[in-house]
Structure 1
């Protein structure tokens, strides 16, 4: 279910447009309020991750929403079940009333690109019978963030002025069920995480997600991949020295492997 992003899906298949950023989307902000979050994976295993509060949400991996900040106690549980796919390959969305027109235009453009390149459909919600949907909200901070997969009922993508069309495509990738590429279990065969260059309170965001699977070959070009650098220091080093570091962290659109992953998750 996870493509080049580590999919939390035990499927036989195996199963943030911004230009590459020097840090993961919004990651340069200090996180004074951290939370211990337990992820329960499809195989029943658990993995503890350090979450953090930002722009009113508890997040992991800088842009995956766990819950609203006031709704999670100090020991929260993040349940990820990759069987929860969007019905009819369709993600209905609405806008909160305070979302600026410029961001609305980017969402429409992102939705058009997703529909033109994958089997999935991102479209305005037209009926209350569409019980499962995304509400696009606006924050005055720096967050471009989303929940992971179809969680049921109304869920959130929160966007700031800095969120480009490509970053919004990235966030819809999370909404559709994709994790970040560099968390897939085979990543150590392709990259080295330079832990010394990553702040201690950010290191858990680079951990492999136990119980996940990768789809296809490791994809440096995935829109779900973190940038190579964190605050100007190399954080992800390809084992193959010929790999261009600028390939990591692109926010232009889904890579061919991203497209294949989503199409495997959401066949016509």
Structure 2
């Protein structure tokens, strides 16, 4: 249930890799999307270069050889390919042709995960204008891969050619719909520009390495009213501590971070992006 997905209409963001922080694992924390990460993970400082020329520096995580923004958005499938000064373009003008997202499975994906992907694809087809369907011969498509950890992640928008959507055993049908939301071009709800009118980020309860993941995304735009019910919203808690506090005390904290299905506004946002 979600209502407004922070739709990145900025239209041309370049992730420029700047530096690598030393790895220093100190215990572990549960990320906002449920993944387990080192308290001091291997990170890269990256700069979002927006269409209007403005810049925003954030921290991206190096995990399983990939560069991840906001816990589950794949900025690069192979962090080593970037090099110390490499770049990777995320352009949400790259909508999927014909409102269709073809997908295929890597050979290592278990049948139980395949079944969940197929169910998520059916849910998306039945509730939005987007058709998520098995690939035939399309040049642009999503390859579903599998990891034995806990992470679910996806590229942002249509990258071109083969792009990765990574799943683990813990990824539910709703989590998979969330990742396909990223593949459609959706950021997380709480990064939209007007969020400070609705929530207060509790910075003291968020580890320093994760704080940039809660920054407002410069150049992004929310569609419709702020949506606490969005499937793209982070949960209220980070590692057991309140991280996102609604300014309206009547808001049920359990509304944030649901992974049951698209909210009414989620559907409206997706259909706005992908009209028939």
Report the TM-score, using the length of structure 2 for normalisation. 0.88
Q: 2:82–2:88: 8 Å Cα contact kept in structure 1?
A: no
Report the TM-score, using the length of structure 1 for normalisation. 0.91
1:70 counterpart = 2:80: yes
Match of 1:204, SS state, is: helix
Match of 1:219, SS state, is: coil
How many equivalent residue pairs?
A: 254
1:126 counterpart = 2:136: yes
Runs of 5+ in structure 1 lacking a partner?
Answer: 12-21
Give 2:191's aligned residue.
183
Counterpart selection for 1:196 from 204, 207, 216: 204
Runs of 5+ in structure 2 lacking a partner?
Answer: 12-29
Give 1:56's aligned residue.
65
Q: 1:66–1:78: 8 Å Cα contact kept in structure 2?
A: yes
Q: Which deviates more, 234-243 or 39-48?
A: 39-48
1:84 counterpart = 2:94: yes
Q: 2:35–2:151: 8 Å Cα contact kept in structure 1?
A: no
Match of 2:222, SS state, is: coil
Q: 1:114–1:120: 8 Å Cα contact kept in structure 2?
A: yes
Bigger RCO of structures 1 and 2 (CA < 8 A, at least 6 apart)? 1
Q: What's the RMSD between the two structures over aligned residues?
A: 1.5
Counterpart selection for 1:206 from 207, 214, 218: 214
1:148 counterpart = 2:156: yes
Identify if the C-alpha distance between structure 1 residues 200 and 72 changes in structure 2 by more than 3 Å, giving closer, same or farther. same
Cα deviation, residue 252, structure 1: 0.3
Cα deviation, residue 45, structure 1: 2.5
Q: 1:36–1:76: 8 Å Cα contact kept in structure 2?
A: no
Tell me, in whole angstroms, the C-alpha distance in 2 between the residues paired with 1:108 and 1:205. 30
